[in-house]
Amino acid sequence: KAGVTQTPRYLIKTRGQQVTLSCSPISGHRSVSWYQQTPGQGLQFLFEYFSETQRNKGNFPGRFSGRQFSNSRSEMNVSTLELGDSALYLCASSYLAGDEQFFGPGTRLTVL
Amino acid sequence: AQSVTQLDSQVPVFEEAPVELRCNYSSSVSVYLFWYVQYPNQGLQLLLKYLSGSTLVESINGFEAEFNKSQTSFHLRKPSVHISDTAEYFCAVILTGGTSYGKLTFGQGTILTVHP
């Protein structure tokens, strides 16, 4: 079975721009979670989607949003980028929300 | 709310020596526990998990962890480390029953460096 894939792997943006990151879960997995990883804050939960519905959201501003499609693929969007948004964004999938999560390689976002 | 504390941010050790990475958690309800490993410029890989049953869980590459409910700990151990074990290790919890809706809570990570 193919693992979780994320595209693109690297992104460089400037302040004020917006960005869209994509995640394809493991086939058959319906839950997709997103995390932000930074040296200062560590791994922080952004949101979780299941059957195209956002069921949980972390403590991030409204500039961070996401969606899930009928094939379980998910995207997250960050608008009006700030320097502090520079991070590794990780996507994880699981069959059900409480199961073990399998992570993708991440998207490294650099905001200049 | 649940929280996870990894007591050591960095652990240096010599090759073939034993190692223990410590993890304590706090939660008012029952949780599942995980250890993940992250190699440079990669995502997280699941190392082992405790869901229920035997409190001692093992991975295929020689790591083991023991769930201690009374001490709310889930320490990771390996009797003899290799250079290739150099990585960052994360302890994580999720509420049982799916009530976390996909939210893993992570510790701050422990960087294990194995020296020759």
- For the segment A21-51, what is each residue's pLDDT rounded down to a tens digit? 999 999 999 999 999 999 999 999 999 999 9
How is residue A98 annotated by DSSP?
T
Residue A96: which of B41, B95, B98 has the nearest Cβ? B98
Sign of CA dihedral B13, A43, B42, B65: positive
Q: Please give the average per-residue pLDDT across B73-85, as a whole number.
A: 96
Structure tokens at A16: 């004020």
How is residue A26 annotated by DSSP?
P
Q: Exposed, middle or buried by CB within 10 Å (0-12, 13-18, 19+), for B44? A: buried
Between A1 and A51, whose confidence is greater? A51
Sheet strand arrangement including A19-24:
A5-7, A19-24, A74-78, A64-68
Among residues A105, A106, A104, which one has the least CA distance to residue A25?
Answer: A104
Chain A CB contacts of B103 under 8 Å are 33, 45, 48, 56, 58
Best mutation site among A38, A76, A101 for testing chain B: the one with the most B CBs within 10 Å? A101
Q: Do B98 and A98 touch (CB under 8 A)?
A: yes
pLDDT value, residue A48:
94
Q: Please give the average per-residue pLDDT across B84-95, as a whole number.
A: 95
Sign of CA dihedral A57, A53, A78, A46: positive
Which residue type is seen at A96?
A: L
Q: How confident is the model at residue A18 (pLDDT cuts 50, 70, 90)?
A: very high
